[in-house]
Amino acid sequence: METSELLKKVRQIEIKTRGLSRNIFAGEYHSAFKGRGMAFSEVREYQYGDDVRDIDWNVTARHNKPFIKVFEEERELTVILLVDVSSSRDFGAIGEMKREMIAEIAATIAFSAIQNNDKIGVIFFSDKIEKFIPPKKGKKHILYIIRELIDFQPEDKGTDLGVVLEYMTNAIKKRSTAFLISDFIAAPDYSNALSIAGRKHDLVAIQVYDKRETELPDVGLIKMYDAERETENWVDSSSSKVRKTYAQWWKNRQAVMQDTLRKSRVDLASIATDEDYVVALMNLFKRRG
């Protein structure tokens, strides 16, 4: 993208997403995520009604009676965006391109974080870690992130959610709020990495998809191109059996994804490219508030 065109696009996204985060999301974001970053403060003797998961077993063993860890709210959070830059995001039959919506959602969350005095960082991933922008504050940092969201060119085409989750677990030492933004297409099993990351960080999943991916139209022969594997196949969409098989494949894939996230207690928002992501994000924040 040429520099002048890129700057214009950055400005458009800045105006739109900063306004949304200031006028709509500020309160919801604060109640949904502020206070979930907790720092260890001290131990005290166990009292009836305390959460047994907070018991400090080392101190308990030394004193022969139960003690629990006391936490205090951290003044600021660290927010990490895990952004899928694989080739499957370059699709848009209905509504926006997936890559455009992913960029806008990520930018909106970034502005919401900054307005709450939180640090924001980004990990771009395909089937490998493409780029890591360490968490910082400030408008200059935000604009840099938005430029990269718009114009970043990955080296690889595939998707591996396990790779980015493992990287975050190892690279981000402090407990953070992380948003995994992807279409969740063609991803190998990531359940173990998700479970480990979900225990260390407050993890949220945002799926961006195109409704044309959920079912085939009845238009005869269609050449289907897999952007990640770079393969082409002809499909007879006039066959009701083919259309039913494809629709069932999508439903099964969604069910597996939802079950995987649910087992690790990761909240999910699924957003189609022709839907209003503002409503979806508001609902997500309210569920967590």
What residues does each domain of the chain span? 3-34+75-288, 38-73
Instruction: Give the predicted TM-score (pTM) of the model.
Output: 0.77
Judged by DSSP in three states, 182 sits in strand
Name residue 148's amino acid. Answer: E
Confidence (pLDDT) at 281? 86
The arithmetic mean of pLDDT across residues 112-132, rounded, is 90
- Compare 172 and 238 and report the one with higher pLDDT: 172
Q: pLDDT band at residue 254, thresholds of 50, 70 and 90?
A: very high
Among 50-54, 108-112, 167-171, 266-270, the minimum mean pLDDT is found in: 50-54
Judged by DSSP in three states, 64 sits in coil
Confidence (pLDDT) at 80? 96
Confidence (pLDDT) at 272? 92
Confidence (pLDDT) at 150? 84
121: pLDDT strictly greater than 90: yes
**What is 3-34+75-288's CATH number, 3.40.140.10, 3.40.50.410, 2.130.10.10, 3.40.50.300?**
3.40.50.410
Q: Give Cβ neighbours of residue 58 (< 8 Å, ≥ 6 apart).
A: none
Q: What is the dihedral of CA 251, 253, 257, 258, to 10 degrees?
A: 10
228: pLDDT strictly greater than 70: no
| Distance in angstroms (rounded) separating the CA atoms of residues 211 and 275 | 10
